[in-house]
Structure 1
Amino acid sequence: MASHQAMPGTVALRAMGAATSLGAVVQAAAAARAGVSRAQELSQSTCLDEVTHERVALVGHTAGPLTEGFEGIGRLVQLGVAALEDLDASAHGAWWGQLDCFLCLPRGLGLGTDPPRDSMDVARALASRLQAEARFIPSLKAMQLFQEERGGTIHALEEAMKSLQARRCDQALVLACDSLVSPERLAAQLDERRLKTPDHPVGYMPGEGAVALLLERRDAARERAQPPIAYLFKPATAQEPHCRDAKAPPVGRALEEVLALALSQAAATSLPEGSLYLDLNGEEFRAREWGQTLLRARATCRVDEWRAVIPALSFGELGAVSPLVSVCLATRAFARGYGRGSHALILVAGDDGHRAGLLLERGPSFRSPLMMIAGGAQ
């Protein structure tokens, strides 16, 4: 049986919010659990069907009316503000002390502007817009920007944990925003043959979304007698030498390394129950790598017995937001009682070879799922 005391090196997850193609956190997790998907034709973006020689619409997962008519910075601001509103609604007055923000954005933000602008300048402008629109968020002590795709989001979590543990801030807000369905980004993905099309079935469907996490130290949560909804362990990271553009396919060593390290931090290597959130999106190289990883991991742990979840089936490819969507789904699974065991492992595989394993432990509020459901857990 898992210990009811979170292990050293973890931080507390106080609240979370999201804006996705399936709605906010609670609605999105419930819909994903039910197998709901809102993939639809992207009428402004087409590709050539090599069989019929006709132009056909690409298919993706948009946030619907929330982002309709918005492009570029405006689209990301819409997503980010909606995620922050969702977080604020669930925080129930949990804001306190000094707050630092860690903002995760996609690379190449200025490429779609005319004339092209420096990516960091665009990121700073976006951050200012978010602060202006989300006035309900307390004043920030500091803000850090990350533009390294999935790896940047993991890096942001690492830096947030360091700031909390060094007591440079009392709470840390990690916000990731990304949209792969805007026309300028779709064109590049289509040229690279990343997208799922009639003549290329081993691609992904693009998506968009934003996720906000509010983190604090474990001791602070305990002193204020406000049990966190989950505990996050420090991410385990490694570099895969055979990334997507390499001629040789990845053999799973780096992903198996972070998987084993993440589990060992929580003494969860031999646990027969848990949930595994996989970074699979339809691309062949990811599926091959996971197959190799699983073969290697079976010799050291029991993750092949864990419940496997593939968020991209419900939300499409979310880029920098992908790791945090998995955090939301895992935490909601704890809350509603369908998450197996007391741990969830999130695997992250970036295009640049960055690999990470992020382990969550069920929070004390959700130790007894049946009691939580009877008490009306949201």
Structure 2
Amino acid sequence: MSTDVKLVASGARAPVGTTAESVAAAVRAGISRVRRLQVPELRRQSASFLARDALLDPGEWSGAARMAALGAAALAEVLGKLAPALTQWNAEVPVLVGLPEERPGWKSADAARVVAALAAVGSVRLRLRVEPRLAGHASALEGLQEAVRRVSRAGGFPLAIVGGVDSYHDVQTLAWLRERNQWLEAGARTGFAPGEAAAFVAVMASPDARRWGLVPHATVRTTTTARETRLIHTDDLNLGEGLTAAVGEALAPLGGTQVQVENIHSDINGERYRSEEWGFVALRLGSAFRDASAVHTPVSSCGEVGAATGALNLVLCAQAWRRRYARGPRALLWGSSEAGLRAAALLEEPLSGSSRVGARQ
């Protein structure tokens, strides 16, 4: 789907920061909150790598409770940034929030706690209709695709909010990760440090953003989804076919030009499956990128943040353009969920609109 939709506000909460700006600055600076910690609640008490939000209760090991707090903080930041422009606003706003796929410590019923916390951030004039999407890593980018449809003229909503929230800091979840050898421990060659985060972005069609006087942070050009049938934790050899389909469709507007994408934001997290999947995509579509190996990920700073990854990457991408340290005016974002959902989005720096494709190399 080719679009001209703007990101007009963002919020984030992660182990390295409490706002979109502070999180992005910390990730860029290479600051990390990944530490070796013990979880006394687990029977096996050897220290493993974790990344925690230090402002939350250190004794709280319920993932749903931590997600509710993280999500409410990040969403409140977005609404606070929108407030000066929307003083006369009286409308319902869809909030499409990506959440984890079901796993030990997190069931579909737990989403109600997070949804309630997010809905409470709204007001009488700004009524939030929170729609959870329990689809994991790719859920926020899939939500972006739906948000783009909603804010189009046919969709009937001038404003939509897209986000993702996740926390692996649940005793049952951590035990499950350890059993599957996904939890990174000293001496391990693969695996990830379980983290937690929340991020949200507000999106509007370009005419509405101008009408409300909101400064765009990024332009959404395409949003795509696909399915992968050769899944992680199976014996099937994943050749990246699903992700290739999603990325290829996202890059379609650049076809037939000499334009290359300079920035890549992903959910690569230290697991071999994800790195190899992107490797196959790079082999097929590498000419579309200035450097297909230069892939940005928040994992080294924030730990693995699961369903929050796509939304956090949207925030990091937009902040890179706002602060003028991005490598160029185009960015590809992609996500890979364990159950097979693949999603991708092509974003551009606001000043580089479609009429200027190819003007900045």
Q: Under a length normalisation based on structure 1, what TM-score does the superposition of the two structures give? A: 0.83
Q: Distance in 2 between matches of 1:137 and 1:314?
A: 37
Change (3 A) 1:47 1:160: same
Contact 2:223–2:343 under 8 Å retained in 1: yes
**Residue-by-residue CA offset, 1:117-149 (whole Å, 9 max, x unaligned):** xx44432233123323x2568532633221111
Q: Distance in 2 between matches of 1:260 and 1:55?
A: 45
Change (3 A) 1:279 1:176: closer
Which letter does structure 1 place at the counterpart of 2:221?
Answer: F
- For residue 356 of structure 1, the aligned residue among 332, 343, 351 is 343
Q: Distance in 1 between matches of 2:41 and 2:272?
A: 23
- CA positional deviation for 1:269: 6.1
* Equivalent in the alignment of 2:21: 26
Change (3 A) 1:40 1:138: farther
* Equivalent in the alignment of 1:183: 171
Q: 2:189 aligned with 1:198, yes or no?
A: no
What secondary structure does 1:295 align onto? Answer: helix
Q: Distance in 2 between matches of 1:112 and 1:257?
A: 32
Relative CO higher for 1 or 2, CA cutoff 8 Å, sep ≥ 6? 2
Q: 2:48 aligned with 1:58, yes or no?
A: yes
What secondary structure does 1:320 align onto? Answer: helix
Which stretch of structure 1 is more off in the superposition, 158-167 or 207-216? 158-167
Q: Distance in 2 between matches of 1:292 and 1:103?
A: 29
Q: Distance in 2 between matches of 1:310 and 1:270?
A: 26
Contact 1:274–1:306 under 8 Å retained in 2: no
Structure 1 gaps, min length 5: 1-6, 49-53, 114-118, 367-378
* Equivalent in the alignment of 2:31: 36
- CA positional deviation for 1:13: 0.8
Q: 2:223 aligned with 1:229, yes or no?
A: no
Change (3 A) 1:338 1:45: farther
Q: 2:271 aligned with 1:283, yes or no?
A: yes
Which stretch of structure 1 is more off in the superposition, 263-272 or 13-22? 263-272
- CA positional deviation for 1:192: 1.2
Q: 2:247 aligned with 1:259, yes or no?
A: yes
What secondary structure does 1:359 align onto? Answer: strand
- CA positional deviation for 1:65: 1.9
Which letter does structure 1 place at the counterpart of 2:195?
Answer: G
Structure 2 gaps, min length 5: 354-361
Q: Distance in 2 between matches of 1:271 and 1:340?
A: 14
* Equivalent in the alignment of 1:147: 134
Calculate percent identity across the aligned residue pairs.
27
**Residue-by-residue CA offset, 1:143-187 (whole Å, 9 max, x unaligned):** 322111123323322222222112432211223211012222111
Q: 2:92 aligned with 1:101, yes or no?
A: no
Contact 2:200–2:312 under 8 Å retained in 1: no
Which letter does structure 1 place at the counterpart of 2:28?
Answer: R
Q: 2:157 aligned with 1:169, yes or no?
A: yes
